[in-house]
Amino acid sequence: MISSETSKIIGQAVAGYGPRKRQLREAWLWPIPGFILAVILIITGLDWFYYGYTKYGPVAASLWSQDWLAAGIIVCAITLCLTVWQFYRSRVKISLYQYGIGIKLPGRSLRNYRWEEISGIASATIQEKLWGHIIRTRHRCTLYFSQDSPIILDDRVHKISELATRLKANIYPRLLPRLRLQYISGGQLSFGPIGIQLNYLVMKEKQIPWEQIERITVNSGHFCVEKRTQVSDHTLTHRISIDKIPNLELLFQILQRGLNGIS
């Protein structure tokens, strides 16, 4: 249930996103090898203790078994701690409301934000490859706030891609008119490490005049700017990972509407 005070601020609940179900299953499954190893070590230690005690007495039993038993106890303790940590990390809940969002992350209190308090969002799909084959796909979404530090959401959240899409649908219509007005007025727009102004683009703290830019694209998860050089038919490409660039879609909308000769 949403409290009356919260309802006054961000409205009624629209949707909720909890921990990824597969992650909860993994939290149960992955410690099993650790506990099996711990049991094997402890049983081996007890076997050595029994053998030593029955054949040579308590001193030999203690000497021959103590390392095995200690290793088993250590492995069991580490596995238990990591299991608790996995469950602790999975305690994430994101709630969408009419006028904002509620975020509850492990170790943090519930924070409610109105849409107007969110200054940007950056999302990316990261594919990890081995010998040219995709072995894992990860998703990450970073929220930027006008009066708070950024919050990173990842695959711990169930349907993180769907959540990112719904967040952009609420955030972008509020940001775009102000950004367009600022751009037309000659101000510099900031998109994290990227800045644009009527006369130039700023990338890695360097100004690149528009007439020197051959092409702007997104390729393999990177924002790419191809810059003309003094050598004929030769360009220099600058790259920045798109997960570091908030409001990437708005950046391209403004570029497409406000610039000529950029494709």
- CATH number of the CATH domain containing 173: 2.30.29
Is 11 in the same domain as 125?
Answer: yes
Has residue 194 been placed in a domain? yes
Which domain covers residue 212, as residue numbers? 186-258
pLDDT at 1: 44
Q: Which of 55, 89, 123 is the last residue of a domain?
A: 89
Is 247 found in the same domain as 208? yes
12, part of any domain: yes
Q: 206 forms bridges with which residues in the sheet?
A: 203
The ranges of the chain with pLDDT < 50 are 1-2, 4-5, 8, 260-263
Output the CA torsion 201→204→206→210 (10° steps).
Answer: -20
How confident is the model at residue 262, as a pLDDT?
A: 41
| Cβ-Cβ contacts under 8 Å for 208 (sequence gap 6 or more) | 200, 201, 202, 225, 227, 238
Q: Which residues contact 15 (CB under 8 A, 6 or more apart)?
A: 95, 96, 166
Q: Are residues 37 and 142 in the same domain?
A: no
- Considering the domain architecture, whether residues 84 and 95 belong to the same structural domain is answered as no
Residue 97's Cβ-side half-sphere holds a number of Cα atoms within 13 Å equal to 21
Q: Which of 125, 94, 120, 109 is nearest to 192 (CA)?
A: 120
Based on the domain organization, do 47 and 96 belong to the same domain?
no
Task: Determine if the pTM surpasses 0.75.
Answer: no
Q: What is the pLDDT of residue 5?
A: 47
Do 13 and 99 reside in the same domain of the chain?
yes
Judgement on whether residues 101 and 205 belong to the same structural domain of the protein: no
Q: Does residue 103 sit in the same domain as residue 131?
A: yes
Count how many domains the chain has: 3
Residue 263 in domain: no
Which of 181, 209, 236 is the last residue before a domain boundary?
181
Task: Look at residues 165, 181, 197 and tell me which one is the last residue of a structural domain.
Answer: 181
